[in-house]
Amino acid sequence: MKVTVNKETCIGCGLCEGMCPEIFRMADDGLAEAYAQPDTPALEDSVRETAGSCPTSAIEVEE
């Protein structure tokens, strides 16, 4: 699985960081970034749930 955040659609709400801080953080530009990649099935599930909750669908998940 590869996770990225589309900076064009991210609004910097912080939901992803709150739901999955092991993968997401807020960058200096005020937008989210995926600073790590999931390496366990539990983290992959968390990333999928977080991506589904993103209000602008900015989290991109490649299986």
pLDDT at position 10, please? Answer: 98
Is the Cβ–Cβ distance between 25 and 59 less than 8 Å?
Answer: no
Binned average pLDDT, 10 residues per bin, the chain of 63 residues: 98 98 98 98 98 98 97
Domain-wise residue ranges, the chain: 2-62
Sequence-distant contacts of 19-23: CB under 8 A, at least 24 apart: 19/46, 19/49, 19/50, 19/53, 20/46, 20/47, 20/49, 20/50, 22/46, 23/47, 23/50
pLDDT at position 37, please? Answer: 98
Instruction: Please tell me the pTM assigned to this model.
Output: 0.96
Looking at this protein, which amino acid is placed at residue 48?
A: R
pLDDT at position 53, please? Answer: 98
Give the domain 2-62 fold: Alpha-Beta Plaits (3.30.70)
Mean pLDDT across the chain: 98
pLDDT at position 46, please? Answer: 98
Determine the length of the chain: 63
